[in-house]
């Protein structure tokens, strides 16, 4: 189990989509690396600031703390990850000590083009979404380049401003 020593920075968007097949084809045409389909259950915990969630999946298993403004369009997110081993007692400890805020159950297709991660999500109770995350793990890229990459793919995937979301899936489930 490993905690990233310093937060890394993402510029990210989340949007509703009725056309995941079209987006998938654009990603394939642009030589995106398909990582796989992950059934993920994200348990969000009650915390005073930011968001804390435990992601349990077939591919990704992390405790994730992040701070991000709830604004539409590309937004900066400061993220800390802790690699969790499936079957550990971490979830039980967090439930007992913090309490559960929400649980998000989703099927997620994961793609990468260089430092940009794409998700095609089908979220139980909410529907289909696309996410774009331009990632700077060590501070060598910078916010401006991350925003540029995020906007480039926002346009390439023909994501409409009306479909952009400001909040997390947990927020959508709670309202």
Instruction: Decide: 117 and 133 in contact? Cβ < 8 Å.
Output: yes
120 assigned to some structural domain: yes
Q: Looking at residue 138, which CATH number applies to its domain?
A: 2.40.320.10
Q: What is the pTM of this model?
A: 0.91
3 assigned to some structural domain: no
- Going residue by residue through the chain, which has 175 residues, state the pLDDT in tens, using 9 for 90 and above: 444 445 788 999 999 999 999 999 999 999 999 999 999 999 999 999 999 999 999 999 999 999 988 887 888 888 999 999 988 999 999 999 999 999 999 999 999 999 999 999 999 999 999 999 999 988 889 889 999 999 999 999 999 999 999 999 999 999 8
Instruction: Decide: 17 and 130 in contact? Cβ < 8 Å.
Output: yes
Provide the residue range defining the domain that includes 159.
8-174
Q: How far apart are CA 83 and CA 174, in angstroms?
A: 27
Q: How many domains does the chain have?
A: 1
């Amino acid at each position: 189990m490993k905690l990233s020593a310093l937060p890394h920075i993402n510029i990210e968007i989340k949007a509703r989509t009725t056309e995941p097949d079209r987006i998938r084809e654009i990603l394939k045409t642009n030589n995106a690396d398909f990582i796989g389909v992950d059934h993920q259950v994200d348990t969000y915990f009650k915390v005073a600031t930011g968001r804390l969630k435990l992601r349990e999946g077939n591919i990704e298993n992390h405790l994730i703390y992040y701070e991000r403004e709830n604004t539409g369009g590309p937004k900066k997110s400061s993220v800390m990850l802790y690699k969790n081993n499936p079957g550990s007692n971490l979830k039980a400890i967090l439930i007992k000590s913090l309490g559960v805020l929400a649980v998000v159950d989703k099927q997620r297709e994961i793609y990468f083009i260089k430092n940009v991660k794409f998700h095609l999500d089908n979220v139980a109770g909410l529907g289909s979404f696309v996410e774009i995350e331009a990632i700077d793990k060590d501070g060598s890229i910078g916010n401006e380049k991350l925003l540029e990459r995020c906007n480039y793919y926002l346009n390439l995937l023909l994501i409409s401003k009306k479909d952009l979301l400001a909040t997390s899936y947990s927020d959508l489930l709670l309202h």
